[in-house]
Amino acid sequence: MINLDDPKKFRPLVGQAHQVAMNMLRPISRKYDRAEHEYPKELDMLAAMIDGLSESGAGEGAGAAGVRREEADGDTTVKNGTNLASVMSIAEMCWGDVGLLLSMPRQGLGNSAIASVADDEQLKRFDGVWAGMAITEPGTGSDSANIKTTATLDGDHYVLNGEKIFVTSGDRCDAVVVWATLDRELGRAAIKSFVVPKGTEGMRVERLEHKLGIRASDTATIIFDNCRVPAENLLGSPEVDVKQGFAGAMATFDNTRPLVAAMAVGCARASLDLTRELLADAGVVVDHDRPAQLQSAAAAKFLQMEADWEAAHLLVLQAAWMADNRQPNSLEASMAKAKAGRVGSDITLSCVELAGSIGYSEAELLEKWARDSKILDIFEGTQQIQQLIVARRILGLSSAELK
């Protein structure tokens, strides 16, 4: 029998995350939405608490995790591990505020890239580093394989040249994981990731973006102009394996896409919870024991949204669980991201509509959640890209065969 309850060992962690979301993030949510680009100093204490939990071993999933299937070593025991704990706690934190979660020190998407791709020596060397992720470039959009930023080996350094846009925490982080190509003619296989510490000569933050949502999180454009990075900062192997192609780089997405999907699930859950209360105050009862067609239009819409949310939630848990058990999860990671990203936007906007003038005003956080959720359907691969990946996996076609 399949047990869909939260694993018992993670319930304290999830409960703590929910308390943090309710008592620490919600109260300052509107403040930092209005004060765009101002660093939320309240997060320093929270980050220190998470670091302490991680060091003590009591906070499994509190920090960024990675997909490292090569460590399976024949163990067939079913595990509920760090990836599952991470998506569960992240969903709870985003019930509080997505932008503030993205602003958490040492919990950047670049940290997940390091955890997924770095070798053992690099894992130790970059332990405790707050890392942003620099993938997107002007003109490349979601096509990460078309990266034009170059990395040229010069002695014991790589020289990086190019421009990266929409880098989350690009100005605040300690380092940025930069995706660059060693040889454009070799295509996807030559794309590698490099850890570039903040303050490295030749790296500069060009500007910070003004955004629709997640305003608490800084989003930067970064220029690399003959930026010299030590060769040992190339994550993983420097060898270009044409047979492996883009698989090494994609291992990062197998981890980060479920995380982003979990953010969408958490934000959507917040909207549903508040909308249920507002509907009840207006005399609209949502009855789960009666067919939707026998209830009011508002109640029927709410039931449909809950069903969509449940599907997205289960896909997120499945993708994370597979990563914990060293199973290939590229298909499931993209399914989770596609479903949760779309459902998150649909639910938050529909909740604004159901709540009427209250939903559209700043009297409640519904309008903010609707703004915040849109990015979760875009970054780490848009809705359209995820559907394309899913189609390729199901049909057994390559990227060249199905574009």
Catalytically annotated residues: 380
Q: Give 377-400 pLDDT, tens digit per residue.
A: 999 889 999 999 999 999 999 888
How many domains does one find in the chain? 3
Using DSSP bridges, classify how beta strands 219-230 and 203-208 pair: parallel, antiparallel or unpaired: antiparallel
Q: Give 287-330 pLDDT, tens digit per residue.
A: 999 999 999 999 999 999 999 999 999 999 999 999 999 899 99
Judged against a pLDDT cut of 90, whether residue 186 lies above it is answered with no
Q: Are residues 66 and 148 in the same domain?
A: no
Helix orientation angle between 109-117 and 247-281, rounded to the nearest 10 degrees: 140
Q: Look at 185 and 41; give whichever has higher pLDDT.
A: 41
Q: Which residue, 206, 270, 264, is CA-closest to 381?
A: 264
Q: Are residues 112 and 139 in the same domain?
A: no
Is residue 151 within 8 A of residue 192, CB to CB? The reply is yes
Q: Are residues 139 and 116 in the same domain?
A: no
Q: Which of 93, 125, 157 is the last residue of a domain?
A: 125
Q: Are residues 187 and 285 in the same domain?
A: no
Q: How many Å is the Cα radius of gyration of the chain?
A: 21
> Strand pairing partners for 221?
207
Q: Are residues 376 and 265 in the same domain?
A: yes
pLDDT band at residue 62 using 50, 70 and 90 as cut-offs: very low
Q: Are residues 258 and 201 in the same domain?
A: no
What's the CATH code of the domain at 174? 2.40.110.10
What's the CATH code of the domain at 380? 1.20.140.10
Residue 30 falls within a domain, yes or no? yes
Residue 271 falls within a domain, yes or no? yes
What are the start-end ranges of the H helices in 103-191?
Answer: 109-117, 120-125
Judged against a pLDDT cut of 90, whether residue 374 lies above it is answered with yes
Residue 227, domain extent: 131-233
Q: Give 239-256 pLDDT, tens digit per residue.
A: 887 655 565 567 778 888
pLDDT at 188: 82
Q: Are residues 280 and 348 in the same domain?
A: yes
Is residue 170 within 8 A of residue 104, CB to CB? The reply is no
Give the span between the Cα atoms of 164 and 173, in whole angstroms. Answer: 15
Residue 240 falls within a domain, yes or no? no
Q: Are residues 268 and 388 in the same domain?
A: yes
Residue 402 falls within a domain, yes or no? no
Q: Are residues 226 and 205 in the same domain?
A: yes
Residue 400 falls within a domain, yes or no? no
Q: Are residues 89 and 189 in the same domain?
A: no
Give the span between the Cα atoms of 294 and 299, in whole angstroms. Answer: 9
pTM above the 0.85 mark? yes
Q: Are residues 179 and 304 in the same domain?
A: no
Q: Are residues 94 and 212 in the same domain?
A: no
Structure tokens at 93: 């934190």
